[in-house]
Amino acid sequence: MLAIVLLLALPFCNAESASSYAGSTVVDSYPPPGATNTAVDTYFPDASQVGYAGPTPTGAEPAAIVTAVPFSKVEGVFPLSRPNSADGADTTFNVMRHWGNFAPMYSVESFGLPDASPVIPEGCGLNAVHLLMRHGARYPAPDEPGPSQFAAEIHAATSKKALSVTGDLEFLATWTYKLATTILTPFGRESMFSNGVAFRYRYGELLNAFTDHLPVFRTTSIDRMVDAALTFAAGFFDVRTYKTDYHQEIIIQDNNFNNTLAPCEACPNANSEDIGNFGDTQSSKWADIYLQDARRRLQPMIKGVNLTIPLLVSMQELCALETVALGYSKFCDLFTEEEWEGYEYYADLDFWYTCGPGNPTGAAQGLGYVQELVSRLTHTPINVWNSSTNGTLDSSNITFPLDQPIYVDFTHGVGIASVVTALNFTSLAATGPLPTDHIPPHRSYISSQIAPFSSQLVAQVLSCPASEEPTHIRFLLNDAVVPLTGIHGCTEDSNGLCALPSFISGMHERIGQIDFAHDCFANYTMPNPNNITNGRYPS
């Protein structure tokens, strides 16, 4: 018995006593107070005042999405440090790609069309492009309290002089919480800028079709959404001229304001405890399974804090959120590859059952954007207001033009997930519903491939063969072509093409199937999730 007692005590023989500030929150502010001095500013005139710019002739607009073979993929995360897992001997395992909606966007290999390239098919012409994009990497949102709660637990134990750590958790003795709230991280800003540059390379030639007005891009009023839009525009246009190169529409995002880029604000059931939080309910069931080994392994390394399953999830979230905010996190290599695969599936469950095919409001939330897409494709104003569309803004040809060759809208991760559900991309839901007790093999719904930071849904409007009149449409989700066989009238095609009239007809049918009033406002409890794979309340 004595030997057993000594063995249990052994991990703390060389335990690290916590500093007095462990777990506390650190906040920095820049620029420093009083640093702005208009008298000093006069010594630093801008380029227009200095002059002597040298030659500035412009060249032709690029069109890499038409001509670039091979296609340039998004693969790196510079300047972030790529983390390892606890058993990180396998250098091919990419921890970052298992962060679910916290993963940086990467080029997906395939959604079922392995031979399809993002470059438009040979012989086709590019007529227009529609981009729906999620903002870049951000700090934790108010509805993601886990990381700050973990810090509070550490600091509370420190304050009571009860915290003692050893082994892999020894760093917690001096660890502090450095994350802001909801705004873009530096990496998030860099991603938006570089994606703006990339979009100009791919689709810049379409700017030549603007003859008598400037493009209108849209975003919401939330701080990170405005920054995402402006930083993208600075990359797409020019750092010094972008403010006059286009019009930035900022749509109010708040409760009871209609906004297709933040549709959950107009859908009460999407925010209810029962229906809106069902993703949390389902993912928590899985967390109780996949994190048991981690709990047994890590708990002996810390005294003063009970590592509950929710706290372990928070530690995995801290790995992702610290990395995209600070460039590196010691939380990452606390978990094995299997536990990171478990976390990815945790995020998949959350999205599937919150705003995806497994929630009865999923399609209703994405309905408004689909109606706007059809309006743009048909050049026909919206005249039925039965979703999250904004009747004031969408009724105006100034704030909602219908003749642009380039459309750019910025949304949230849940926005991307709900729109692909409303579009009825059935290939993404093919292996649903998702179980909560195991990871199904070869699953089709992976949140890091659908709604990562800087996620991009692109509709390419094409003419095949090339002409001035568009004949076809296809969709890219994070650079992978999406099959459109779930849309009535769209047939199998190796390049993901659907005849434009067939797509529009299929969308009219899909719009008619989605009951926004019922799914968002009716008084009902969460249906059996095994009966939902299309984002609608079961018939």
- The pLDDT tens digits for 447-495 are 999 999 999 999 999 999 999 999 999 999 999 999 999 999 999 999 9
Q: What CA–CA distances, in Å, run from 243 to 81, 235, 237, 246, 275?
A: 33, 12, 9, 7, 41
Q: What span, in angstroms and rounded, lies between the C-alpha atoms of 92 and 88?
A: 9
Q: How many residues does the chain have?
A: 539
Question: Binning pLDDT at 50, 70 and 90, where does residue 16 land?
Answer: low
Average pLDDT over residues 221-227: 98
Q: How much is the pLDDT for 15? A: 65
What DSSP string runs through 165-180?
E-GGGGGGGS--B---
List pLDDT tens digits, range 400-419.
999 999 999 999 999 999 99
Strands 480-482 and 125-134, bridge-based pairing = unpaired
pLDDT single digits (tens) 337-377: 999 999 999 999 999 999 999 999 999 999 999 999 999 99
Q: Give the model's confidence band at 3: pLDDT under 50 very low, under 70 low, under 90 confident, else very high.
A: very low
Read off the pTM.
0.94
CB atoms within 10 A of CB 144: 17
Interatomic CA distance for residues 426 and 271, integer angstroms: 25
Query: What phi and psi values does residue 498 have, to the nearest 5 degrees?
Result: -135, 135
Residue 220 contacts residue 410 (beta carbons within 8 Å)? yes
As a whole number, mean pLDDT of residues 163-181 equals 96
Q: What is the pLDDT of residue 90?
A: 67
Mean per-residue pLDDT of the chain:
94
Encoded tokens for 120: 């438009």
226, pLDDT greater than 90: yes
Q: What is the DSSP annotation of 47-72? A: HHHH---------PPP-HHHH-SS--
> In the prediction, which pLDDT does 10 show?
37
Phi first, then psi: give them for residue 224, nearest 5 degrees.
-65, -30
CA distance 131 to 496: 17
CA distance 325 to 138: 7
Write down the H helix ranges in 379-489. 413-422, 447-450
- Across the range 113-119, mean pLDDT stands at 95
Taking 90 as the threshold, does the pLDDT of residue 13 lie above it?
no
Element (H, E) at 385: none
Q: How far apart are CA 347 and CA 19, in angstroms?
A: 34
* pLDDT tens-digit map of 71-86: 889 998 999 999 999 9
Q: Where are the alpha helices (DSSP H) in 13-117?
A: 38-41, 47-50, 64-67
